[in-house]
Structure formats: C-alpha cells, structure tokens
Amino acid sequence: MNPSSAPKIDLTRTTLNLLMICALLVTSAWILSPFLPALLWATMVVVATWPLLLEIQKHFGNRRRPAVAAMTLLVLLVLVVPLSLAIATLVDNADQIVEWGKDLAELNVSAPPDWVGELPWIGDAAKNAWLHLVNTGHAELAGKIAPYAGNLTKWFVREIGNFGLVFVQFLLTVALAAVLFLDGERYATSVRRFGRRLAGERGDATVVLAARAIRAVALGVGITALVQSLLGGIGLAIAGLPAVALLTALMFMFCIAQLGPGLVLIPAVIWLYWSDSTAWATFLLIWSIVVMSLDNFLRPFLIRQGADLPMLLILAGVIGGMLSFGLVGIFIGPVVLAVGYTLLQAWLADAPPAAD
C-alpha cells in the first residue's frame, strides 16, 4: 500500500469535534443540574420498586396507567407524608426539647447507685465518671456542652428553613418517578443499549447488575431500618417513655445512616434505670438487644435476595456513599462498588490460567 494514499488525520478537526462534544455535555449537565438530585432519587425509587409495579399492574388487568397512579400515590405517601410528619413532630416538640435541656442543666447529681459499678465491662469506668461528675458539678459539664448545643440549634433552624426546598424536591421526585413508571421498559432498553454500545454484552450485564444492587440496598437497608425503628418505638411506648414519635423518627434516621437504633435505645434504658424504673428498664434492655441484633441476619438475608454481592462491599458502599454524596449516596455507593467489583472479577476471569 502506498503510504501517500493512506488517509490523513486532521488533528485540528478531531480536536475541535472533541471540544464541541465536551462543551455540549457540560452545558447539558449544567442545565439539568437543578433536576439531577430528584432524577437520581426517582431512578432509585423506580428501579427498587419495579417488581411491585408489575404485581399491581396484574391486579388492574395488565393496564399500566392505573398501576402507575397507585404506585405514584404509594411513593407520595412513603416519601412526602413521613417527611412532613417528621418535621412537624420536631417543630411541635421543640419547646419540650428545650425544657429537657433546662432540666438536665439544673439536675442535681447524687452518688451513683450500686448497680452502676456492677455493670459488666464498663462498670468501673461508668462509676468513676459518675463520681467525677458529682465532684465537679454539672456546671462544668454544661459549659462544655453549651457550644455544641448552640451549633446544633443553628443547624436545626437552618434545616427547617430549607424544608420548603426539600419538600419541592420530593414532589419533583414523585413526578419524575411517575414518568419513569409509565414507560420504564423503553428507558431501561435505552440504558442497556448504551451499556452494550460501550462494552458489548459485559456492559449490558453491568447495567443489570447496577439495577440489582439498587434493589438489594433498598430491600436490605430500607426494610431493616423500618423494622428496627418500628419495633424500637413499640418498646419505648410499652416502657412508658415520652415523645415516642420523635424518638422513633430519630431511630429511623440512625438506622438509615447505618448507626443503628442503639443511639436512642441505650440512653432510654439508662434514663429508666436513673429514674428507678428498674423493671421497665430491664424489659427495655432485653427488647433493645433483640432489636439491635436484627440487622445481623435480616439485612444480609434481604440483600442476598436482590444481589449476590459480598456483604462488606454493600456496607462499605452504603456508609461511604452517604458520607460522600449525602442521603442519595446510600444507593449510589453500593452501585458504584458493585459495578467496579464485577468488572474486576470479569477482568481477572479473562486472565490465562497459571502454569503448574
């Protein structure tokens, strides 16, 4: 072949084409940026609940529009109504929370009961800390806590001020979810075609894996958090603690954040012992142990129903994703790690076998 007949590459034209494509992508992302959080949430919700939509559709004679209406109402009730109730509960109990703080600041601390020193593992440390508090007085402790309490109050006021924006984002999420529910197969086909265009059959399998990872996290993290918070709230109500609704909402937030219900239940047990309600405190302690141990088997079981992925990978994705991207990172983190893990496994599987 004559070298002079080979096609010449116009470097300037190629560079300008790439620059135009990058500029188009960046501009499109910039225009869509106000809708991206709601679109991400809507996509996660639709992917996680798609089997439920198909089941509801069967009961409507395989008609999509009534099923979409039912699912949209369900998403509205699950997302918007609990958000409104949680904010309303916090606002309604704001005065009570302030009173609790005043009562705690004015509390006269006496010598620790005998049972404190008898606690396993932490008895001596707890008794020494209690005696230190008695000797120094609560004024020193209140002085240390005051700056953090002020910052917490400012954060709470700021978040309440942003409630209107959050509420609009949730409504937009519900609307986008309805659109995706209505014609989900076509959107899924387009995404799978994009995956095949990038990496052939492996790209298609990666898209399917991402959907399964989203569903697994929704099942494992969401349902486990709901069950633990509800059972914890029932235990608090039986034990006679005040503000059960507020404490249950806090438990649900802690469970979603993978911190567990113990951050609410353990202080409640300590408060009951402090109030000399030994019988109810012992009941709540046993109940709390059962509730806190649920995630050891319920969450792995539910996650395995959605995707056959290592449990450590899922938990690292949930926690790391939430710290990096916020609440939506609970779903983004496991999806990214699951895709990366699967691609790495496929790449290692393609390696030639080692010689004996």
Cβ neighbours of residue 105 under 8 Å, at least 6 residues apart? 138, 142
Same domain membership, residue 336 and residue 206 = yes
> Residues 340, 351: contact at Cβ < 8 Å?
no
Range of the structural domain that residue 143 is part of: 35-183
Domain shared by 209 and 309, yes or no: yes
Is the pTM here over 0.75, yes or no? no
The phi-psi region of residue 200 (left if phi > 0; otherwise alpha if psi is between -120 and 50; otherwise beta) is: left
Residue 224 near residue 301, CB atoms below 8 Å: no
pLDDT given at position 27? 92
Residue 251: inside a domain: yes
CA–CA distance from 170 to each of 6, 38, 89, 162, 330 (Å)?
A: 57, 7, 19, 13, 17
Q: Which of 183, 217, 249 is the last residue of a domain?
A: 183
Let me know whether 122 and 262 are in one domain: no
Cα 127 → chain centroid: 36
Do 104 and 127 fall within a single domain?
yes
Q: What pLDDT is stored for residue 306 in this prediction?
A: 65
Assess whether 214 and 97 both reside in one domain.
no
In a domain, 200, yes or no: yes
Boundary residue ending a domain (152, 183, 214): 183
Q: Report how far apart the first and last C-alpha atoms of the chain are (Å, whole number).
A: 45
**Integer CA distances (angstroms), 75 to 71, 78, 228, 253, in order:** 6, 5, 21, 18
User: In angstroms, rounded to a whole number, what is the distance separating the alpha carbons of residues 260 and 58?
Assistant: 37
Task: Give the model's pLDDT for residue 124.
Answer: 73
Residues in the chain, pLDDT under 70:
1-9, 79-123, 130, 132-167, 257, 306-309, 326-328, 330-331, 350-356
Residue 108 lies inside a defined structural domain of this protein: yes
Residue 148 lies in a domain: yes
C-alpha distance from residue 157 to each of 61, 87, 140, 294 (Å): 49, 11, 26, 34
DSSP 326: -
- Same domain, residue pair 131 and 98: yes
Q: Are 180 and 38 in contact (CB under 8 A)?
A: no
272 within a domain of the structure (yes/no): yes
| pLDDT at residue 88, as a whole number | 60
Count the domains in the chain: 2
- Is 101 part of a structural domain of the chain? yes
CB atoms within 10 A of CB 130: 17
CA distance 318 to 334: 6
177 and 40 in a common domain: yes
Residues 90 and 155 both lie in one domain: yes
Is residue 279 located within the same domain as residue 324?
Answer: yes
Whether residue 62 sits in one domain with residue 106: yes
Residue type, 290: V
| Residue in the block written with tokens 């869509």 | 32
Answer yes or no: is 18 within a domain: no
Domain end point (choices 149, 183, 217):
183
Same domain, 223 and 336: yes
263 and 144 in one domain? no
Judge whether 164 lies within some domain. yes
